[in-house]
Amino acid sequence: MRIDDLYPLAFEHTAQGFRTLMRTLLIKANYDGVLKKTTGFRGMHVSEERQECWTLKFEQFAGVFGIFLANLDDTFGHFHLHYFPSPQEALLEKCSLAEACLANAPDFIDKVRTFYAHDALLAHFFIGTLALHVDPQNESFYGAYQGQMRERIYAKEGVVHPHEPHTLLVPKEGLDKDFPAFRLLLPLMHFFNTTLLRLTQEPPRTFELFRAKGTCLTYDSAGVFHSAADGGSVKILVATGYGKIPHSTLTQTLLEGTHAKKMDDSKSLTVFFQKAPWYELDANNHLVTTPLAQAVPKPKLIVVTGFLGSGKTSFLQHYIEHETQNNRFVGIIQNELGKIGLDGKLLDYDYSLVEMDEGCVCCSLSGQLRAGIGALAQKASPDTILLETSGVANPFNLLSELDELDDLVDFEAIVTVVDGVNALALFEQYRIFQDQVRAADVILLNKSDLLDEITQAKVYARILANNRCAAILPVVEGNIHPSTLRHSIVASTSQIASLISEEESAPFTHVDEGISSLKVTLSTPLTKGLFSTYLRKLPKKIYRVKGVVRFKDEPNPWVVQYVNGQFEFLEQCNGANTETFLVFIGKDLDKGYFEGPL
Amino acid sequence: MRCAFTKKEAIMPTTQTQGRREFLKGAATGLGLGTLSAMGIFSYSPMRAFFLPEAERKMADFGTCKSVKVTNISETSWFDNSILMGDIKGAGGLLVNQYDYNWAPFGDGSGLAKGSYERGIAKIKHLLPNHLEEAWEIIKTNSVNPDNAGGFAALVEIESLEGKKTKYLLDSGWSYAWMDECFKREGIDKMLQNNEIEALIISHEHFDHFWGLPVTMKYAPNIKIIIPEGFYKEGLQYIKDSGHTGEVVVAKKGRNDWEPGFCTYTFDVPIICRVFGEQSLFVNVQDKGLVSITGCCHQGIIKFADTAYKELKYDNDQMYGLYGGLHISPFEDWDPKYDDLVISLGKWDFQKVGCNHCTGLLTAQKFIRAGYPVVEGTAQHRSKSKAYLGNGDIITFG
């Protein structure tokens, strides 16, 4: 690996040199859209209070990861890795009581952002280390992760409940902390290896796993800590190396004195890594560059709907500017010719705009949308496509075609912009307005600053009566940060988080490589009771279902909204000619699985 | 001292778990670590020592000057954002090497993303720097979207405490045609010819700040050029190929002093389009405070202001003025509420601010609405808004 390709300064084996290297890798990772998708990377923050440290978040974990350069020796720069759990998450129960108290403090997240400046945070929440070795002359780069399957602390004399002297919070010689540290190293490993693959277009030369006996800590009632070998815990070392020369000496240096054994290919952990998208062996069992190295991300599709005067245009303008500031390109598809649309001059720059012909996008869909998105992607490869539907369009008609675009775009959400001030009147007057609210995944309640408390409560109630599943975000002048919007789209993050982090017996799983949507047309009416049971039993990997169905003994069609275990049915009054269908959004969808029960 | 237990099963029985949960709910109401020891819980004492020295506020005294005046020669780096972003995306994204795009002036006729510095320069090298019109004609036929190219350049005049005025040229833009027109409009061509400009400072190797170098070379091939540490080999070669005959000074990472009250600081950060390193200008104006001038500030305003605060000593300990492009940070924050330039800027209490197109129009307008001391421009010569300090506009500090 050419180190000077990573950055053109001569690498110095100093604290500043290692920090610059880490900073460079992290910033470059920021610029890569595919990396975010395949690793769930959700952003980072650098703090330089007292000393430089980085915090990162990933989709599948609710907490915050921390990295800092802890020390340096002749061979390695040693980074320490931390995980600061969210006070709400189940993982916190595996942390020590001291850590749990810290996490429940009201200013915890603010402190986490600058964790190097807080001794308590440096002393706790440790999950493992990353030792880096760089040898520019030999074009060699080596990183070894070390972590324990369980970080354990025993309370020799137990811990007594402060208010109930006969209750022990931790029994004598019981565990105060029993944290699955190694599991939390996985997203970081996945992230760095994917970054290196995409930056260097090279596979690792070395990839080896070792195991050794782990250690645990115990404390007594005087607060004295002792370290001991813990028969139950295991310490793992994962070595990854790039470049021209072998790295075995480096690994041996790290393993000295530990009696570590190499893990062979049959071990489940090894098997797990072999499923990583950056890991591929050729016929001779050598690591090769995988397709991930060259993957180009599909644009995200966000459907923006809203009544005339709702503030849709302002929302689009703010969204575009935020994305542009982050060097991302937004393409717009509008289906209003000559109507009040986006004024390029107003925004100081043009964005790529495609206008759809022939009236309402939602009435004459076949092929239109595909052609429009295709044309946009050809012209400009946008990161996000905003499809602005006309102010009187019914997004349900749109929904049934969205899954057919799965190969072109990643459907993200239907966003409905609602004029808070006129909402109540609009509910009364226009069924289309009601449909727009019902179809939404996110509702932006605009002009929220103009609503008094009573009206606001009424508007919320009315919206909820029409859509219990959407996130409702109050906004002013349509201004909302695109990331806030994204994170409010319920389901993907919490679903996958629960898959990986909470279940004891869950096999290690990789982050999704792509969520897809699947449409099932329904030819016969359903039985309401059976359908409700069916929805309740849906596996977690399906996290959204939207559609229009007919029930036996019901004259009208019903709208179905299912998100994250919650669902509701809403009767449509005039939808006699609506197609009946369901769109499922999740991962690993298999069409056969759906057609059966329905 | 050995532990008494080794093979014990690590169980956390449910009653303990429930008790623990209840206890922790109460913990949110303010049990500090200090009160835990009474119950037998101890803070995990750090078993690891961190050997690295901690950073403190250095407050290096780099001198004082009387005033600084910035004339914007051109802030319109390009004219159509969708064309530019379309090219970047089409070429493969933000990590692709800028020299490979087949953009002006390094077009070789083979189309987007199939170019190289060597093939591009070969077409025009013999014409640099004295036959720029001819070169630009060739460039137009070989490059992708050549008319979208504009460029950034500014004239910075430092007035010393004794009243002596020194001129620096900050950056040299992109398009030969456009930059030559701007140079002539502002009289930069004559200043260069008359040796009135002390040095050309290149903020960073980006196409819109650096690739118009031959235009400066046409009028002053001998001028001292100050580049930040982090240029790639193509950039270093281009300085030679542009016909430069003078001295090249590399401003290493960190602070570099140029005259009393004026220094630059090179930030070691990677930037989009395979560029590395950006230097920003700091001027300490007597009785006013620190004035910061950036080309783009890709390192982010947070890093930029934090660095100034930690490293430099300036009058009244006050961040006085700011001119240039503004990005919050090269990172995308995991908490979007911190990705707010309006709030971030407010923390530093600047007294005089000039924005350009890098800031973003809606953001500049938000600054104005938030009551920030934004100096507005005249929106002339293809600059798009008065909220920017635009082409031909001037801002003085001190």
- Judge whether A222 lies within some domain: no
The CATH code of the domain that includes A531 is 3.30.1220.10
- Which band of pLDDT confidence, cut at 50, 70 and 90, is reported for residue B300? confident
Option in A9, A44, A102 nearest B334 (CB): A44
- Selected residues 4-43 of chain B with any CB under 8 Å from a CB in chain A: 4-13, 16-17, 19-21, 23-24, 27-28, 31-33, 35-43
Q: Which of A314, A518, A234, A24 is nearest to B253 (CA)?
A: A24
Residues of A in contact with B77 (CB under 8 A): none
CA distance to partner chain A, nearest, from residue B347 (Å): 16
8 Å CB contact of B232 and A484: no
The pLDDT tens digits for A568-589 are: 787 766 555 667 778 777 666 6
Tokens representing residue A464 in the block: 């909820």
Check whether residue A430 and residue A536 sit in a common domain: no
- Judge whether A475 lies within some domain: yes
Domain that holds residue A560: 508-595
Q: For an interface test with A, which of B11, B95, B331 has the most A Cβ atoms less than 10 Å from its Cβ?
A: B331
Q: Please indicate if any CB of chain A lies within 8 Å of the CB of B362.
A: yes
Q: Which of B297, B17, B106, B101 is nearest to A325 (CA)?
A: B297
Q: Which of A506, A484, A485 is nearest to A495 (CA)?
A: A506
Check whether residue A113 and residue A87 sit in a common domain: yes
CA distance to partner chain A, nearest, from residue B116 (Å): 16
Tokens representing residue A151 in the block: 């970080």
The answer to whether residue B204 scores a pLDDT higher than 70 is yes
DSSP lists the bridge partners of residue A353 as A332
Question: B373: Cβ–Cβ under 8 A, 6 or more apart, which residues?
Answer: B350, B351, B352, B353
Q: Which residue of B has its CA nearest to A25?
A: B270
Are the C-beta atoms of residues B71 and B381 closer than 8 Å to each other?
no
- Which band of pLDDT confidence, cut at 50, 70 and 90, is reported for residue B73? very high
The answer to whether residue A511 scores a pLDDT higher than 70 is no
The CATH code of the domain that includes A376 is 3.40.50.300
Check whether residue A243 and residue A355 sit in a common domain: no
pLDDT over 90, % of chain B: 62
pLDDT over 70, % of chain A: 81
A365-373: Cβ within 8 A, 24+ apart? A365/A397, A365/A398, A365/A401, A366/A401, A369/A333, A369/A398, A369/A401, A369/A405, A370/A404, A370/A405, A370/A408, A372/A333, A373/A299, A373/A301, A373/A333, A373/A405, A373/A408, A373/A409
CA distance to partner chain A, nearest, from residue B366 (Å): 11
Check whether residue A269 and residue A137 sit in a common domain: yes
Highest mean pLDDT among A77-81, A339-343, A561-565, B324-328: A77-81
The H or E element spanning position A156 is none
Q: Give the distance from CA A593 to its chain's centroid.
A: 26
Question: A394: Cβ–Cβ under 8 A, 6 or more apart, which residues?
Answer: A362, A432, A435, A436, A439
Question: Of the ranges A332-341, A549-558, B226-235, which one carries the lowest mean pLDDT score?
Answer: A332-341
Q: Which residue of B has its CA nearest to A331?
A: B82
What single letter denotes the amino acid at residue B237?
Q
The pLDDT value recorded for residue A352 is: 57
Distance from C-alpha of B187 to C-alpha of B176, rounded to nearest angstrom: 16
Residues of B in contact with A30 (CB under 8 A): 330-332
- Which band of pLDDT confidence, cut at 50, 70 and 90, is reported for residue A336? low
User: How much is the pTM?
Assistant: 0.81
Adjacency order of strands within the sheet including A581-586? A516-521, A581-586, A542-550, A557-563, A566-571
The pLDDT tens digits for A407-464 are: 788 888 889 999 988 888 888 877 778 888 888 889 999 998 888 999 999 999 999 8
Q: Please indicate if any CB of chain A lies within 8 Å of the CB of B187.
A: no
Are the C-beta atoms of residues A55 and A45 closer than 8 Å to each other?
yes
Tokens representing residue A55 in the block: 């915090």
Highest mean pLDDT among A50-64, A196-210, B174-188: B174-188
Tokens representing residue B74 in the block: 């051109």
Option in A123, A173, A380 nearest B45 (CB): A123
Check whether residue A193 and residue A46 sit in a common domain: yes
Check whether residue A118 and residue A185 sit in a common domain: yes
The pLDDT value recorded for residue B212 is: 97
8 Å CB contact of A481 and B337: yes
Distance from C-alpha of B226 to C-alpha of A591, rounded to nearest angstrom: 63
- Which band of pLDDT confidence, cut at 50, 70 and 90, is reported for residue B120? very high
Residues of A in contact with B45 (CB under 8 A): 123, 223, 225
Number of Cβ within 10 Å of residue A269's Cβ equals 17
The answer to whether residue B29 scores a pLDDT higher than 60 is no
CA distance to partner chain B, nearest, from residue A527 (Å): 41
8 Å CB contact of B20 and A97: yes
- Selected residues 57-116 of chain B with any CB under 8 Å from a CB in chain A: 80-83, 85-86, 88-90, 92-95
Where along chain B do its domains lie? 62-78+149-397, 79-148
- Which band of pLDDT confidence, cut at 50, 70 and 90, is reported for residue A199? confident
CA distance to partner chain B, nearest, from residue A5 (Å): 9
8 Å CB contact of A48 and B333: no
CA distance to partner chain B, nearest, from residue A158 (Å): 7
Q: Compute the CA torsion angle A443, A446, A450, A456 (nearest 10 deg).
A: -10
Residues of B in contact with A231 (CB under 8 A): 6-7
- Judge whether A458 lies within some domain: yes
The pLDDT value recorded for residue B326 is: 82
Are the C-beta atoms of residues A256 and A169 closer than 8 Å to each other?
no
* CB burial readout B206-221, b (16+ within 10 A) else e: bbbbbbbbbbbbbbbb
Residues of A in contact with B27 (CB under 8 A): 100-101, 104
8 Å CB contact of A380 and B357: no
- Judge whether A435 lies within some domain: yes
Distance from C-alpha of B99 to C-alpha of B120, rounded to nearest angstrom: 9
8 Å CB contact of B303 and A48: yes
Task: Give the mean pLDDT of chain B.
Answer: 87
What single letter denotes the amino acid at residue B384?
K
Give the position of tokens 């990172």.
B331
- Domain boundary among the residues A269, A294, A319 is at A294
DSSP lists the bridge partners of residue A148 as A235
- Judge whether A502 lies within some domain: no
Check whether residue A48 and residue A192 sit in a common domain: yes
8 Å CB contact of B88 and A329: yes
Domain count, chain A: 3
Query: Integer distance in angstroms from the first to the last C-alpha of chain A?
Result: 54
Distance from C-alpha of A19 to C-alpha of A520, rounded to nearest angstrom: 52
Option in A122, A168, A380 nearest B82 (CB): A380
Distance from C-alpha of A137 to C-alpha of A139, rounded to nearest angstrom: 5
Option in B10, B17, B331 nearest A30 (CB): B331
A8 preceded by cis ω (within 30°)? no
**Between chain A and chain B, how many beta carbons pairs sit less than 8 Å apart?**
278
B129 preceded by cis ω (within 30°)? yes
CA distance to partner chain A, nearest, from residue B331 (Å): 6
Check whether residue A278 and residue A312 sit in a common domain: no
Residues of B in contact with A43 (CB under 8 A): 331-336
Q: Please indicate if any CB of chain A lies within 8 Å of the CB of B3.
A: yes
Mean pLDDT confidence for A536-542: 78
Check whether residue A419 and residue A562 sit in a common domain: no
CB-side neighbour CA atoms (13 Å) of A563: 19
Are the C-beta atoms of residues B379 and B388 closer than 8 Å to each other?
yes
CA angle (B88, B237, B240) in 5-degree steps: 125
Check whether residue A198 and residue A333 sit in a common domain: no
Mean pLDDT confidence for B8-16: 42
Mean pLDDT confidence for B381-394: 89
Residues of A in contact with B310 (CB under 8 A): 48
Check whether residue A284 and residue A378 sit in a common domain: no
What single letter denotes the amino acid at residue B64?
T
Q: For an interface test with A, which of B42, B48, B328 has the most A Cβ atoms less than 10 Å from its Cβ?
A: B42
- DSSP structure string for A126-155: EEEEEEEEEEGGGTEEEEEEEEES-EEEEE
- Judge whether A220 lies within some domain: no
CB-side neighbour CA atoms (13 Å) of B277: 23
Q: What is the ipTM of this complex?
A: 0.84
Architecture of the domain spanning B62-78+149-397:
4-Layer Sandwich (3.60)
Inter-CA distances, A317 with A136, B108, B121, Å: 46, 37, 39
**More reliable by pLDDT, B48 or B368:** B368
Q: Which residue of B has its CA nearest to A166?
A: B19
Q: Which residue of B has its CA nearest to A347?
A: B361
Question: Of the ranges A483-492, B45-54, B55-64, B296-305, which one carries the lowest mean pLDDT score?
Answer: B45-54
- Which band of pLDDT confidence, cut at 50, 70 and 90, is reported for residue B50? low
Question: A220: Cβ–Cβ under 8 A, 6 or more apart, which residues?
Answer: A156, A157
Distance from C-alpha of A60 to C-alpha of A492, rounded to nearest angstrom: 8
- Which band of pLDDT confidence, cut at 50, 70 and 90, is reported for residue B144? very high
Check whether residue A565 and residue A446 sit in a common domain: no
- Judge whether A155 lies within some domain: no
- Which band of pLDDT confidence, cut at 50, 70 and 90, is reported for residue A510? very low
- Selected residues 163-182 of chain B with any CB under 8 Å from a CB in chain A: none
8 Å CB contact of A483 and B232: no
- Which band of pLDDT confidence, cut at 50, 70 and 90, is reported for residue A339? very low
The answer to whether residue B7 scores a pLDDT higher than 90 is no
CA angle (B325, B329, B334) in 5-degree steps: 145
Inter-CA distances, A47 with B17, B176, B292, Å: 35, 41, 21
Number of Cβ within 10 Å of residue A559's Cβ equals 23
Q: Which of B381, B69, B77 is nearest to B210 (CA)?
A: B77
The pLDDT value recorded for residue B18 is: 62
What single letter denotes the amino acid at residue A90?
A
CA distance to partner chain A, nearest, from residue B196 (Å): 33
Distance from C-alpha of A540 to C-alpha of A564, rounded to nearest angstrom: 8
Question: B340: Cβ–Cβ under 8 A, 6 or more apart, which residues?
Answer: A481, B328
